[in-house]
Amino acid sequence: MTVVVTGGNRGIGYAVCERLARAGERVVLVSRDRERGAAAIRVLPGEVDLVVGDLTTFAGVRIVAEELRRICPRIEVLVHNAGLWPSRRVLTADGVEESFAVNHLAPFLLNHLLEDLLGRVVQVSAGLYAKGKADPARTPQGLDFHPIRTYADTKLCNVLMLPLFARRWEDAGVTIDAVHPGVIRTGLGDRGGPVGLLLKVAKRFWLTPEQGAEPVVRLALEDKGTGRFFNVNQEIPIELDEELARRVWAQAAALTGAG
């Protein structure tokens, strides 16, 4: 079985790669940084391949998809793990806010570009999505940027796509679920200043990446449902605005050129 993991060179993504590789699965690690990606695959056991690509741009996502198609006749599981929690507003080359691009548009576009190869998709999400407010007129360009709230906003946009992809793929037999793996001690959200110092202290009490990988791996190896959201290992109902979801989908399709 081939499992693709984005952002697999560190944190939860690396721990997921390690668990799956030890279980005997073929792992394809997607990393933005070639040196860090190469360092990761040198120490991972089993059959592990590296794909280097920048998920902040549509062109970068398409390059990743092309390389995955070249080396993977079939992708039994695609784990969307790459994510950003920025402290300041940065626009990509495509003119969209960077975390909106990575957390929302990159998985959306990859799903479309690879859907004929897929068996299952697992989206590493965040419980904070419930605090998000998606504004299609402002969120894509970061006009409503906030160093904490924007992360929740982009995760909400991504979760809004969950039931729509589940319905789109129903006849094809492709399944998709999302999981909040817990509050994990990774580099996500690291920053300088007093806030950064407080965060560093707080992270000492958070779960390890290895603990965060467990519910992700469980869903990657399970194919018993679709369109579900899990808080660690517990399925929880999600109440989403269907009209907003359709607007966010249409906007993502227009921005990325996906069908």
- Higher-pLDDT residue of 204 and 61 is 61
Query: Sorting pLDDT into bands at 50, 70 and 90, what band is 183?
Result: low
Bridge partners (DSSP) of residue 235 are 230
pLDDT at 186 over 60: no
For the segment 122-131, the average pLDDT, to the nearest whole number, is 92
pLDDT above 90 covers a percentage of the chain that reads 80
What local confidence, expressed as pLDDT, does residue 190 receive? 44
Q: Is the pLDDT of residue 244 over 90?
A: yes
pLDDT per position as a tens digit, 92-103:
999 999 999 999
Residues of the domain holding 139: 2-256
Query: How many domains would you assign to the chain?
Result: 1
Known catalytic membership, residue 151:
yes
Rounded to an integer, the average pLDDT of 18-34 is 96
Residue 80: the pLDDT is 98
Active-site pick, 85, 151, 165, 249: 151
C-alpha–C-alpha distance, residues 94 and 58, integer Å: 7
Phi first, then psi, for residue 105 (nearest 5°) are -70, -35
Mean pLDDT of 206-211: 74
Name the 3-class secondary structure at 201: helix
Q: Identify the band that residue 207 occupies on the pLDDT scale cut at 50, 70 and 90.
A: low
pLDDT at 172 > cutoff 50: yes
For residue 236, the model assigns a pLDDT of 93
Q: Give the pLDDT confidence score for residue 208 in this predicted structure.
A: 81
Q: What is the CATH number of the domain that holds 33?
A: 3.40.50.720
Check residue 188 and give its pLDDT. 52
pLDDT recorded at residue 210: 85
Position 78 pLDDT exceeds 90 = yes
Q: Which of 114, 80, 94, 99 is nearest to 219 (CA)?
A: 80
Q: Which residues, in sequence order, are bridge partners of residue 145?
A: none
**What span, in angstroms and rounded, lies between the C-alpha atoms of 178 and 231?**
9
CA-based torsion, 176, 84, 249, 157: positive or negative: positive
Per the prediction, the chain carries an average pLDDT of 90
pLDDT at 209: 76
Range scoring the smallest mean pLDDT among 142-156, 166-180, 198-212, 226-240: 198-212
- Read off the pLDDT of each residue in 192-219 and give the average, rounded to a whole number: 64
Q: Is the distance from CB of 36 to CB of 30 less than 8 angstroms?
A: no
